[in-house]
C-alpha cells in the first residue's frame, strides 16, 4: 500500500510539474503576442521599427501631423510611387483638421484616395507590407496602422520568350512580376472559374507563390495535393520556380523532369484547359505545369497552330531525333567494337582507314568527343550573346578539323557527334534535352563494355524506370502505359482539333467534354 501511495504521489507531482510547464509556455506565447502588437504610443512604435531596420538606410520615416494628432509615414525608398504618395496621401492628410472616435476608419473612408488600404495591428504585418512596397501610416493614440497600396516595382516589359520560339503563334512571354503573369492568364481565360490561390513561401524572402487552376476542370484531389506539397516547404528563400520544382516533385533522384516549365502564357492556358495546375513564383518568368507525362515533353505549342498533318509529321520527327540523341553514339561504339560484321564491307573499310592513325579505342574516342561537344555547348550559353554563338561554331569547326588532321579522332566520329547534337536540339523542352544528354554517357559506357547487349539492358532499365515514375500520381508514360484509348489522339500523332472532343484523363473524370461534337469542317450543306 505504501508503494502504491508513493507511485500516486509521484504521478501527481509529475502532472503538476507538466501543468506548470504548459502554463509557463502559454504565458510566454502570450507575452510574445503582446510584444508583436502595436502600442498606443507613436514614439514607441517608431523606435521598435527603427531598431528592426537599424542597418537599412533606405527605410524612410516621414513625420507629420493630422490636425493635433502626430503621425509617421514609413516606406522603403525605391519600392513606392513617390508622386502618388505625395499627391494622394501626404497632401490630403496634412491639410485635414478633424477628430473622430473612429479615426482610422474615417481616414480610410474619407481622406485616402487610394484603391487599396488595410488596417494592421502587429509589427510582423507591418514588416511584411513594407517589404512588399506598401507605405505604412502610424498614428498616435491608436493601436492600428494603415498599409496603403501604392507599391511600384520596376519590371521587365513583356517580350517574346527566349527559350520557346515559334514561327506561328503568340509572341508574349511571362515576366518576373507575378501580377503581370496572372493578368496575362486572365486575359486568355476570362471565366470566373479560373481560380488562383496565393501563399508566401520562404522565411526570409517571403516569395509570393500562386497556384492557378480551372474550377470544375482540374480534379480537386490534384489541386489539394499541390497545395499540401507547397505548404510543406520550409526554407529560407525561393529565388526561382526551379526551387519549388525540386521541393515538390515525386521522385527527386530521377533524371527525367516531372514538371513542365514554360515562359508562354498560351502554353499555360492550354494546360489549364486540359485540367492541369500551373504554379507561378514571384521573381521567375517560368511557370510550372503539373502533372506532366513523358509525351508532353515532346510537344510544342506550334503543333496546335499548324494543320494537324504538319503537326503530326513534325512530332514523328521529334521521336526519331529523341532516339538518335540517346542511342546514336552508343550504337556506333557497339558496332565498331563488337559487331563489325553488321556493316557493309565498303563502309567498314572506309571507317577502318579513317581510324588507322587514331590512338584511342572507339569507346574512349566517343567519350572524349561527347565531353568536348558539351563543353562547347555550355561555353556558347555562358558567353555574352554577341560572341557566344560565334565562339561555339568556330570552336567546333576549328577543333574538330584540327583533331581529325592530327589523328586524335576520326572523321566518322565527328559526324556522329555532330548529328547527335543536332538531334538533341530538336527536343522542345530544354530540361528534357538535358536528361537525354545525361543518359547518353552511361549508354556509351554500356555499349563499350557489353556491345548491343549493353544498349538493350540500358534501354530496358530506362523504360522500367519510366513505367514506375509518377507525376502527382499520374503515370509518366500515360496514356500508353497504362493504355487509355480515348487519350491517344494527342500522343504519337496530333489528331484534328474537331476530333478531340474530350479532355485528357489525368486524375479527374474520364471523358469530360470540352467541345461539341460534329464539328468537322467543310462546305455548307444548306442553300440550294
Burial (CB count within 10 angstroms: exposed 0-12, middle 13-18, buried 19+), residue 421: middle
Of residues 284, 288, 281, 269, the one with CA closest to residue 175: 284
Tell me the C-alpha distance between 159 and 75, whole Å: 31
Give the CA angle between residues 88, 122, 83 to the nearest 5°: 15
What is the predicted pLDDT for the residue at 19? 55
What is the predicted pLDDT for the residue at 17? 52
Q: Summarize pLDDT for 179-223 with one digit per residue, the tens.
A: 999 999 999 999 999 999 999 999 888 899 999 999 988 888 999
Burial 288-317 (b: 16+ CB within 10 A, else e): bbbbbbbbbbbbbbbbbebebeebbebbee
Q: What is the mean pLDDT of each run of 10 residues along the chain (528 residues)?
A: 47 54 47 66 92 90 89 90 86 80 82 85 91 90 90 82 85 91 93 93 91 91 93 92 93 93 93 93 94 91 88 91 94 92 88 86 90 82 70 69 82 89 88 91 94 95 94 90 81 84 66 74 62
What is the predicted pLDDT for the residue at 459? 96
What is the predicted pLDDT for the residue at 255? 93
What is the predicted pLDDT for the residue at 30? 47
**Alpha-helical runs (H) found in 407-514:** 411-425, 430-450, 452-468
What is the predicted pLDDT for the residue at 4? 42
H or E stretch at 260: strand 260-262
What is the predicted pLDDT for the residue at 528? 44
What is the predicted pLDDT for the residue at 389? 65
Instruction: Please name the residues in contact with 385: beta carbons below 8 A apart, sequence gap of 6 or more.
Output: none
Q: What is the pTM of this model?
A: 0.84
Of residues 230, 251, 243, 203, the one with CA closest to residue 474: 251
Angle, helix 362-382 to helix 411-425, in steps of 10 degrees: 50
Tell me the C-alpha distance between 224 and 237, whole Å: 23
Q: Do the Cβ atoms of 298 and 315 come closer than 8 Å? A: yes
Q: Summarize pLDDT for 344-402 with one digit per residue, the tens.
A: 889 888 888 888 888 888 999 999 888 888 888 887 777 776 666 666 666 666 777 77
Amino acid at each position: 500500500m505504501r508503494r502504491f501511495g508513493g507511485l500516486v504521489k509521484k504521478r501527481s507531482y509529475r502532472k503538476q510539474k507538466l501543468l506548470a510547464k504548459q502554463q509557463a509556455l502559454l504565458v510566454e506565447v502570450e507575452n510574445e503576442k503582446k510584444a508583436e502588437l502595436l502600442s498606443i504610443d507613436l514614439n514607441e512604435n517608431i523606435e521598435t521599427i527603427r531598431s528592426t531596420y537599424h542597418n537599412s538606410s533606405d527605410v524612410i520615416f516621414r513625420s507629420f501631423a493630422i490636425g493635433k494628432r502626430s503621425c509617421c509615414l514609413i516606406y522603403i525608398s525605391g519600392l513606392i510611387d513617390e508622386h502618388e504618395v505625395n499627391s494622394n496621401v501626404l497632401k490630403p492628410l496634412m491639410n485635414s483638421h478633424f477628430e473622430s472616435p473612429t479615426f482610422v476608419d474615417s481616414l480610410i473612408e474619407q481622406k485616402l484616395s487610394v484603391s487599396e488600404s488595410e488596417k494592421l495591428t502587429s509589427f510582423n504585418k507591418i514588416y511584411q507590407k513594407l517589404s512588399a512596397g506598401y507605405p505604412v501610416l502610424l498614428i498616435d493614440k491608436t493601436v492600428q496602422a494603415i498599409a496603403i497600396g501604392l507599391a511600384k516595382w520596376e519590371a521587365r516589359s513583356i517580350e517574346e520568350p527566349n527559350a520557346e520560339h515559334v514561327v506561328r503563334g503568340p509572341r508574349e512571354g511571362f515576366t518576373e512580376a507575378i501580377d503581370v503573369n496572372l493578368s496575362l492568364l486572365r486575359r486568355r481565360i476570362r471565366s470566373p472559374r479560373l481560380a488562383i490561390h496565393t501563399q508566401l513561401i520562404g522565411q526570409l524572402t517571403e516569395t509570393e507563390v500562386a497556384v492557378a487552376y480551372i474550377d470544375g476542370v482540374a480534379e480537386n484531389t490534384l489541386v489539394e495535393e499541390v497545395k499540401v506539397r507547397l505548404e510543406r516547404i520550409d526554407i529560407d528563400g525561393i529565388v526561382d520556380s526551379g526551387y519549388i520544382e525540386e521541393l515538390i516533385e515525386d521522385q527527386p533522384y530521377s533524371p527525367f523532369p516531372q514538371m513542365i516549365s514554360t515562359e508562354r502564357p498560351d502554353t499555360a492556358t492550354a494546360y489549364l484547359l486540359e485540367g492541369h495546375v500551373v504554379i507561378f513564383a514571384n521573381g521567375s518568368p517560368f511557370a510550372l505545369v503539373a502533372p506532366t507525362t513523358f509525351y508532353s515533353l515532346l510537344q510544342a505549342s506550334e503543333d496546335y497552330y499548324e494543320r494537324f498533318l504538319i503537326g503530326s509529321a513534325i512530332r514523328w520527327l521529334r521521336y526519331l531525333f529523341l532516339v538518335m540523341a540517346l542511342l546514336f553514339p552508343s550504337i556506333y561504339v557497339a558496332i565498331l567494337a563488337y559487331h563489325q560484321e553488321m556493316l557493309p564491307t565498303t563502309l567498314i573499310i572506309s571507317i577502318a582507314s579513317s581510324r588507322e592513325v587514331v590512338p584511342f579505342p572507339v569507346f574512349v574516342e566517343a567519350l572524349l568527343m561527347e565531353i568536348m561537344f558539351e563543353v562547347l555547348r555550355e561555353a556558347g550559353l555562358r558567353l555574352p550573346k554577341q560572341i557566344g554563338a560565334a565562339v561555339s561554331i568556330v570552336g567546333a569547326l576549328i577543333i574538330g578539323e584540327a583533331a581529325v588532321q592530327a589523328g586524335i579522332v576520326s572523321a566518322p566520329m565527328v559526324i556522329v557527334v555532330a548529328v547527335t547534337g543536332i538531334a538533341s536540339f530538336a527536343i522542345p523542352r530544354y530540361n528534357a534535352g538535358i536528361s537525354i544528354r545525361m543518359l547518353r554517357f552511361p549508354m556509351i559506357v554500356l555499349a563499350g563494355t557489353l556491345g548491343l547487349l549493353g544498349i538493350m539492358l540500358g534501354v530496358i532499365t530506362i523504360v522500367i524506370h519510366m513505367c514506375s515514375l509518377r507525376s502527382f500520381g499520374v503515370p509518366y508514360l500515360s496514356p500508353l502505359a497504362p493504355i487509355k484509348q480515348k487519350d491517344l489522339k494527342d500522343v504519337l500523332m496530333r489528331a484534328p482539333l474537331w476530333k478531340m472532343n474530350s479532355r485528357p484523363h489525368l486524375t479527374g473524370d474520364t471523358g469530360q467534354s470540352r467541345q461539341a461534337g460534329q464539328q468537322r469542317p467543310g462546305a455548307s450543306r444548306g442553300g440550294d
